[in-house]
Amino acid sequence: MLNTADENRRRHDLHPDHPVWLFGYGSLIYKADFPYLARRPASISGWVRRFWQGSHDHRGTPDKPGRVVTLIEAPGMVCAGMAYRITPDVFEHLDHREKNGYLRVTTPLSFADGQHEQGLVYIATADNAAFLGEASEPQIADHIAASHGPSGSNAEYLLQLAEALRQLDVVDEHVFHIEHYLLRACD
C-alpha cells in the first residue's frame, strides 16, 4: 500500500490564514466528514471520473482491494462534483483519508455562476501502487459487488456516489452503467 499523506504535506505551502477550495468528485461529494466554510457545486475540465483506483483501506482490504474513483485525463471532457472552501488545517484529516495513492494537485475550478477559482483536488495516477486500471464496466461491477472494507461495502460507495450525482443533476455514464450492472447482479 502506498501512503501519500507525507508527500501531500510537502506538496503545497499553505498559509494557515488563507482558506482554499477543494474539489471532490467521489465520496467527498456525499461524505463531508470535515468542517468547511462554504460548499458549492463545481466542475473541472480535462478530466473524467473512473473506478480504476484500488481501495485497500476503506472499501476493501490489502488482500482484496475494492474499487473507488480517481480522475483520468480526458481533453475536452468536464467532471462535475462539489467544491469545499476549507482552512488548511483540515488537510491533516483529508491527507489521512485520501492516503491510499492520492496526491493533491492544483486545478482551476468552474462554478455554475461563471466564477472561476484555483483549488486542490486529490488524484490517484496510474503510477501509484494501488492503481488497478481499466476494466469493463461489468467487470468493475462484479469487483465492487465482492469487495468490503473498514468503511463498509464497496457497493455502498458506488450507490451513494450515483445518488449524489443525481442530486447534483450530473450524468456520469461510467458510474451509472456500473451501478446498472451491480443492481442487475444483485437481483
pLDDT tens-digit readout, 48-85: 999 999 999 999 999 999 999 999 999 999 999 999 99
- Max Cα–Cα distance, the chain, nearest Å: 51
98 catalytic, yes or no?
A: yes
- Its CATH class, for the domain covering 5-186, is alpha beta
Q: Which percentage of the chain shows pLDDT scores above 70?
A: 98
Average pLDDT rounded to a whole number, residues 135-145 = 97
Query: DSSP assignment of 98-119, as one string?
Result: TTBT-EEEEEEEEETTS-EEEE
How distant, in Å, are the alpha carbons of 58, 163, 172 from that of 176? 21, 10, 6
- Distance (Å, rounded) from C-alpha 58 to C-alpha 49? 18
| Confidence bin at 8 (pLDDT 50/70/90) | low
User: Choosing from 7, 98, 134, 173, which is the catalytic residue?
Assistant: 98
Residue spans of the domains in the chain: they are 5-186
Q: How many helices (H) and strands (E) does the chain have?
A: 6, 7
Question: 77-135 pLDDT, tens per residue?
Answer: 999 999 999 999 999 999 889 988 999 999 999 998 899 999 999 999 999 999 999 99
| Confidence bin at 7 (pLDDT 50/70/90) | confident
